[in-house]
Amino acid sequence: MKRTFAQLRETLYSAVVADACDQFGLRNQSIQHELPPQTTNGVMVGRCRTSSWEDIFSEDPSPYELELQLVDSCQADDVVISAAAGSMRSGIWGELLSTAASNRGCVGVIVDGAVRDVKKMRAMEFPVFAAGRSVYDSCHRQRVTAFDEPVEIGGVTICSGDFVIADEDGIVIVPAARSEEILAAAWEKVNAENVTRDAIKEGMGAVDAYQKYGVL
């Protein structure tokens, strides 16, 4: 049974999805860079839309061109992935892009680099995960070189169409081709953990609970 993104957000979290990836032999699906939540503390679940960024040191003849095309092409439940190699040269994502992307149905952004307008994005309750913050505009400092092409962040290859689950514990990428079985397994594990937790609360020992339910 397929579940909606809204249902997945209410039930899943990054750790249980990472466990499900392990179950299917995908043991390196969590981004190993520090990209903490900057604006919200909830769970972000969506479909990846990738973009590649580069630092520039001369005047850009077409500033913002590709990033605006990407934002305008966003659809419901998309999450923009901005691969900027951890650059702190400028805040490549801010309030205006968040507003435009949100209007298209985008549910968040992950930036391997810096963002700005954090207070305003927090007021919007727009989920943003990023390496840090910078007050500088990206114009003539950084630019998008391509979007909807594979990118690599923190040891994980990410393609447009992959699923992403992000929260305070970390960010997990689920390859699109394996998403149905992995997300189903994560859903089942949440339910199994709830049963185990209830048994422990009622007095069952941890060893006995693990032996009975096989969940930790």
What torsion, rounded to 10 degrees, do the Cα atoms 58, 94, 46, 113 define? 50
What torsion, rounded to 10 degrees, do the Cα atoms 94, 97, 102, 105 define? -130
What are the pLDDT digits (tens) for 49-87? 999 999 999 999 999 999 999 999 999 999 999 999 999
What predicted TM-score, i.e. pTM, was given to this entire model? 0.91
Bridge pairing between strands 170-174 and 163-167? antiparallel
- The DSSP 8-state label assigned to residue 182 in this structure reads H
What is the length of the chain?
Answer: 216
What are the pLDDT digits (tens) for 165-189? 999 999 999 999 999 999 999 998 8
CA angle 188, 159, 39 (to 5 degrees): 70
Single-letter amino acid code for the residue at 21: C
Is 183 annotated in a binding site? The answer is no
Confidence at residue 216, expressed as pLDDT on a 0 to 100 scale:
54
Is 70 annotated in a binding site? The answer is no
Is 97 annotated in a binding site? The answer is yes
Is 95 annotated in a binding site? The answer is yes
The CATH number of 5-175 is 3.50.30.40
- pLDDT category, 9, cuts 50, 70, 90? very high
